[in-house]
Amino acid sequence: MIPIQVSQAPVITGQIVSVGDGDTITIKTSNGNITVRLACIDAPERNQSGGKEAAQRLTAILPKGMSVKVTPVDKDQYGRTVGIVVTTQNINQQLVQEGLAWVYEAYINKCQNIATPLRQAQKVAKEKRVGLWSQSNPCPPWDYRKNQCVTASPVPVPNQQKKCDPSYPDFCIPPAPPDLNCGDIPQRRFRVLQPDPHKFDRDKDGIGCES
């Protein structure tokens, strides 16, 4: 695991009371129990694919009574402490590296000191296709919470090889020209095969129009 450095913010020490889900814990401190949301990562929801596995793994990593240190970076809308959780290693980073959570890019500015290691951990997890990345098209929890996860299924089209580009097997997308952008089509997060003439898959991870 890539070594990291965290900012010199006031650190909270405590013991694990319980694990709520794949990115939420409750700890006992000298001032009472507090709920901590792991910063800058987002694990699948409990009723989402991979959610139970993420919660089970976090429970195994952080058993009840284990001592932890939390570097707070924010408070969320529910009043929870948002922070970086450390035992002998950075737990936020470990979950991403094991393919149990995404880097939460919408809030990565809260974690500037570990942004690069988090992104590198996710890159490694994707390359190894571990955890959620073993799925062909995993849906991020922020999309799941908005009911924006769409399971693509192939659409039979007559003479598909002539009218539909084979780089996009789950939808009928016409070949270039003209060149299309993500804003020109309604589909999101679909499989892309090379050579990808429309360049929907800019980062070449096999998924087009991810945002």
What's the pLDDT tens digit per position in 74-130? 999 889 999 999 999 999 999 999 999 999 999 999 999 999 999 999 999 999 999
Q: Is 57 a catalytic residue?
A: no
CA 172 to chain centre: 28
Q: In the prediction, which pLDDT does 156 show? A: 45
Residue at token pair 């009574």: 65
Q: Is 191 a catalytic residue?
A: no
Q: In the prediction, which pLDDT does 207 show? A: 84
Query: Which residues of the chain register pLDDT less than 50?
Result: 2-7, 152-161
Q: In the prediction, which pLDDT does 136 show? A: 77
Selected catalytic residue, list 80, 105, 191, 210:
80
Q: In the prediction, which pLDDT does 5 show? A: 43
Selected catalytic residue, list 37, 57, 188, 189:
37
Q: Is 145 a catalytic residue?
A: no
Closest CA to 38 of 86, 83, 71: 83
Q: In the prediction, which pLDDT does 96 show? A: 97
Contact 69, 36 (CB under 8 A): no
